[in-house]
């Protein structure tokens, strides 16, 4: 019996040691440490973290990236932006920064389901470290309007409502592979497949424009967004460099694989750094 117990401990202990939650790779598929990743991305004016919205590794790393960016900071004050806050929610966010009342924030605006567990720690850390949190995304109903009726529908909006989005008309490059993919997906939903890409683009443009307002004010920016919004150096990054040419942008993204020990070919060059998360990782909502 004693030998059976020893065998079980050795066998299952060995398997447990092989079970990994994540690894980090550079764009070419070379494994790197968290420290090496931070040494590189911290040199940029903008750092985009492409997350999986329901992934605990993404959120844990986002918090740690924020803390490391503050340690590396030598120049401009850091602004921290969130896809999760739309432009019309800026007042509620600013009120929270001043009074720290989560109840007031929750009561005054519609928060994401997992905000308290997944994003509030990042927001609170940013506030504690003297960063400048900001809302960045287009008001959701306008992206929905574009999806249903196209870009021309925005022309019918009163001028005071257009402040909740990037300046119109915003540029759109239909050859970007991320938008090509959405156009094809959109065709399966309705006759005008391009509206699906337009709806994504108005989010990307608005977030990119919001980021550049802080860059032009002399701040560096750390930004949290869904991975698709910045993968392959497109989306938000494309718009940042459109609105503020010459801005240096570093990207981190998240992917899911069965084996985290080697980056799969389809993920090469997806970002400057790719966080490979074990596909069995639990979701936060």
DSSP string, 90-133: HHHHHHHHHH--HHHHHHHS---TTIIIIIHHHHHHHHHTT-EE
Over residues 205-229, the pLDDT tens digits come to 999 999 999 999 999 999 999 999 9
> Which CATH number characterizes residue 201's domain?
3.40.50.11550
Q: Does any domain span residue 8?
A: no
**Residue 118: inside a domain:** yes
Give the number of domains in the chain: 1
Note down pLDDT in tens along the chain; length 285 residues: 444 444 434 444 444 447 899 999 999 999 999 999 999 999 999 999 999 999 999 999 999 999 999 998 776 789 999 999 999 999 999 999 999 899 999 999 999 999 999 999 999 999 999 999 999 999 999 999 999 999 999 999 999 999 999 999 999 999 999 999 999 887 776 656 799 999 999 999 999 999 999 999 999 999 999 999 999 999 999 999 999 999 999 999 999 999 999 999 999 999 999 999 999 999 998
Q: Which pairs from 91-94 meet CB under 8 Å and 24+ separation? A: 93/133, 93/134, 93/135
pTM attached to this predicted model? 0.92
* Tokens at 93, concatenated: 């966010």
Q: Which domain, by its residues, includes 59?
A: 20-276
Asked if residue 269 is part of any domain, the answer here is: yes
Q: Does any domain span residue 126?
A: yes
Q: Which two tokens stand for residue 162?
A: 């257009």
Q: Is residue 12 part of a domain?
A: no
3-state helix, strand, coil in the chain (%, to 5): 50, 20, 30
189 occurs within a structural domain: yes
Residue 2 resides in a domain: no
Whether 10 maps to a domain, the answer reads no
- Please list the residues that pair with 51 across neighbouring strands: 226
């Amino acid at each position: 019996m004693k030998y059976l117990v020893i065998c079980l401990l050795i066998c299952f202990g060995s398997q447990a040691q092989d079970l990994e939650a994540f690894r980090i790779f550079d764009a070419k598929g070379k494994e790197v440490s968290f420290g090496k990743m931070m040494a590189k991305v911290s040199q940029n004016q903008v750092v985009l973290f492409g997350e999986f919205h329901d992934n605990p590794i993404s959120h844990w790393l986002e918090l740690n990236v924020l803390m490391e960016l503050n340690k590396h900071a030598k120049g401009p004050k850091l602004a921290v932006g969130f896809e999760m806050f739309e432009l019309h929610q800026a007042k509620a966010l600013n009120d929270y920064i001043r009074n720290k009342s989560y109840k007031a924030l929750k009561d005054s605006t519609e928060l994401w389901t997992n905000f308290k567990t997944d994003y509030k720690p990042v927001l609170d850390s940013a506030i504690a470290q003297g960063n400048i949190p900001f809302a960045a995304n287009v008001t959701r109903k306008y992206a929905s309007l574009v999806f249903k009726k196209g870009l021309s529908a925005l022309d019918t909006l009163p001028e005071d409502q257009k402040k909740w989005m990037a300046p119109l008309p915003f540029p759109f490059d239909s050859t970007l592979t991320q938008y090509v993919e959405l156009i094809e997906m959109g065709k399966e939903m309705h006759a005008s497949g391009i509206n699906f890409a337009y709806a994504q683009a108005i989010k990307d443009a608005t977030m990119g424009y919001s980021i550049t307002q802080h860059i032009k004010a002399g701040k560096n920016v750390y930004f949290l967004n869904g991975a698709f919004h910045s993968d392959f150096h497109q989306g938000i990054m494309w718009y940042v460099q459109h609105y503020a040419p010459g801005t240096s942008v570093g990207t981190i993204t998240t992917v899911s694989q069965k084996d985290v020990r080697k980056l799969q070919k389809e993920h090469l060059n997806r970002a400057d750094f790719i966080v490979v998360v074990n596909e069995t990782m639990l979701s936060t909502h």
